[in-house]
Amino acid sequence: DTEVTQTPKHLVMGMTNKKSLKCEQHMGHRAMYWYKQKAKKPPELMFVYSYEKLSINESVPSRFSPECPNSSLLNLHLHALQPEDSALYLCASSHGRTGIYEQYFGPGTRLTVT
Amino acid sequence: KQEVTQIPAALSVPEGENLVLNCSFTDSAIYNLQWFRQDPGKGLTSLLLIQSSQREQTSGRLNASLDKSSGRSTLYIAASQPGDSATYLCAVRRGSQGNLIFGKGTKLSVKP
């Protein structure tokens, strides 16, 4: 099973809402990633977790809060977002965080902030 | 700073043609290079991964080559089909951190 799943597929939220994105993999991968992709742009790395610990935060605003409750699950908590945060949020995982491992991506969550 | 460039930005070909997509990167000190396919509004599907010690990888009608010294990779698609229509992204792995640096992609359209 080489699948990364993400829920929900679509999310519309107001600027005062609190919501969460969920990502799950059952490949035994120990590294998980959040990317943000704006329309017609390549994905941009937000966070990296390695062995359930945050190892990289690419200077992401605090209104995005990642969480890795266990090795299979990655959450992204959203609060007080801005309309410019509307994008496709992609989760990925790899066997390890070092450079040799292939990353597998989920289908993404399309987020619209109104 | 590693920069990844993909040329052309868009490509339209008739069905059945063989085609080449290009990817170049500025820093040759990469761990590996990964080619992805992305359908509109969807996630990324990994096509091929080439380690820095490898010259090429093949999967079905796809062949990817890597020339690390010149900072180039090509994705060759044989006998293109309308179902190949998508955006193709290349990404290089930056150092031991494992972060992917993406190009902006080539949008491919294969006409029946």
Alpha-carbon gap: B80 to the closest alpha carbon of chain A (Å)? 23
* pLDDT at residue B98 is higher than 70: no
In DSSP notation, B17-44 reads --EEEEEEES---EEEEEEEEE-TTS-E
Contact A108 B42 (CB under 8 A): yes
Separation CA A100–CA A94 (nearest Å): 10
Alpha-carbon gap: B98 to the closest alpha carbon of chain A (Å)? 4
Segments of chain A assigned E as strands: 4-7, 10-13, 18-25, 31-37, 44-50, 53-57, 64-70, 73-79, 87-94, 104-105, 109-113
The string over A64-99, giving b where at least 16 C-beta atoms fall within 10 Å of a residue's C-beta and e elsewhere, is bebebeebbebbbebeebeeebbbbbbbbbbeebeb
Contact A104 B49 (CB under 8 A): no
| Residues A78-94, mean pLDDT to the nearest whole number | 95
Cβ(A47)–Cβ(B99) below 8 Å:
no
Give the model's confidence band at B97: pLDDT under 50 very low, under 70 low, under 90 confident, else very high.
low
* pLDDT at residue A98 is higher than 80: no
* pLDDT at residue B55 is higher than 80: yes
Give the model's confidence band at B41: pLDDT under 50 very low, under 70 low, under 90 confident, else very high.
confident
pLDDT of residue B79: 97
Contact B44 A43 (CB under 8 A): yes
Q: Which residues contact A40 (CB under 8 A, 6 or more apart)?
A: none
